[in-house]
Amino acid sequence: MKPRHWMFGVACALMMAPAMAASPSMATIDTAFEDAVARYRLPGLAVGIVEDGRVTYMRTSGERVAGSGEKIDADTLFKVASNTKAMTTALLARLVDQGKLRWDDPVVRHLPQFRMHDAWVSQEMQVRDLLIHNSGLRAGAGDLMLWPEPNAFARDDIIHGLAYLKPLYSFRSRYAYDNLLYIVAGEVAAAAGGASYETLLQREVFEPLGMKRCRVGQWNRDEVGNVAQPHMRQGDNNVPVRADGEVIPATTMAAAGGVRCSLDDMLAWVQAWLREEPAQSSWLSRDQRRALWSAQMPMPLSDRQRRWDNAHYSAYGYGWRLSDVDGTFKVAHTGTLMGMYSAVTLLPDKHVGFVIMANGEAEEARTVLTQVLVKHFTAPADARKVADYARDLDRERADTPPAKRAPDTSARAVAAIEAMRPWLGHYRDPWFGEVSVCPGNSGHVRFTSLKSPMLSGVVQNVGGRWLVDWDDASVDAEAWLDFASHGQTVSLNMSKVDPEADFSYDYEDLAFTRTGRCN
């Protein structure tokens, strides 16, 4: 994809929503907003704050597509990614309130075909276990059936593939982030609720909470309008990637991260959670609200949390991360997809919540901006700014042990067909399916996935090892290819070149066996 050149001018890009002029007490938030946009050169950013039930701050900047002139506003749709998980658990809680399921129901009661690698785990796994990242699988196991999109994996493939994913830990022994089991949770909701996940989410969550522009399932981009597109950095430019066509198709990963909402919608979502409800409210009972925000699985407490937040505990609830900041209860989650980042943070003790959404490479921007906003309410005297937290992250990177850094692979050369001849062929993994390692029309050896076409690229030689240089630059985690011969059997295993790459590139869970020669 060729870069789209555009002029980045912070002064021109920043926009205050007309009806939401910031009060003097919000000056630090304005500064943080502007610093984040400028420092990280974001194509677009939207931030909103709720205090005591009212929206007290709303600001947007930038463009839906860099260079288009189409400004982001409070109605612009962003991918909220894993912030969808709390919507899925809210849907399940509604079904619990309605008596259609229980948190401790065995999953097989609703999905008889459900299987994990271990037969005992298959029978013992409860609905609650689908939601709290305690399955024993490695972080991101099986995510290559979800991303990169588009691909040909369906929800039935997810349920079938789980049986072939070998656990790394004991069931319920530790936290390791998972997406696939949220897909299963969505299918449990569909089975218990008598309608598709998408229909139920619209009926049980979006409609009663007034989240009017939220979208899930198939919809038409032009009919809905005002849709932000994801971007990646190429040099000094923000370049749209994986842009939507006219029809946004339904996605397999909907229940784990497939919702899109506007800033207005997400502020309505925050207001719903901060609202004091009677024991039997019309939307969700107090018991179920407490269940969703109860610690279900301990999470590691990082050095950064101790250093920045004076935190003492960290846990996962049902679709929410729970911790403490300066003695204040914090309920939060983030969302990450290629070129789209979001954060929802609630401080219930302070009756405060806020939303951040960006349509570019904004992982660090989200981290530091969230921190400044949290501290604004939990430690008002703390004078640290975006730049201070950014410098701290720079120090963390400088202190990263060499073993966790990406190796230098610049001295690479296209793999010679003759050198690879013993390993050429078609391979199969029991959950990922078919791939080929064969000469292409260009005369280079190509790795090609049948069901995930974006995982295709040219095989390279780096110091006697093989790696795949993916064709699409947005597939940003290259993979080592490790072949082995066992008598008549040839196997292929894969691993991330950069050990710190996103765990959703779970190459380590693949175990290919050669099934035939190249044609």
For the beta carbon of residue 330, count every other beta carbon within 10 angstroms.
22
SS (H, E, C) 370-388: HHHHHHHHHCCCCCCCHHH
Q: What is the pLDDT of residue 404?
A: 85
DSSP-assigned beta bridge partners for residue 413: 461
Q: What are phi and psi of 338, to 5 degrees?
A: -50, 115
Question: What pTM was estimated for this model as a whole?
Answer: 0.94
Residue-level pLDDT at 442: 86
Parts of the chain with a pLDDT under 50: 1-22
pLDDT of residue 198: 98
Distance CA 342, CA 352 (A): 17
> Smallest Cα–Cα separation from 321: which of 136, 181, 175, 205?
175
Which pLDDT value is given to residue 77? 98
What's the CA gap between 109 and 188, in Å, rounded?
A: 9
Q: Which of 184, 218, 187, 210 is nearest to 200 (CA)?
A: 187
Map tokens 């004991």 to a residue.
170
Contact 255, 99 (CB under 8 A): no
pLDDT value of residue 279: 58
304-362 pLDDT, tens digit per residue, is: 999 999 999 999 999 999 999 999 999 999 999 999 999 999 999 999 999 999 999 99
**pLDDT of amino acid 22:** 45
Give the model confidence (pLDDT) of 181-235 as tens digits.
999 999 999 999 999 999 999 999 999 999 999 999 999 999 999 999 999 999 9
CA distance 53 to 152: 43
Mean pLDDT of the chain: 94
Query: Residue 89 and residue 275: Cα distance in Å, rounded?
Result: 18
| 470 three-class SS | strand
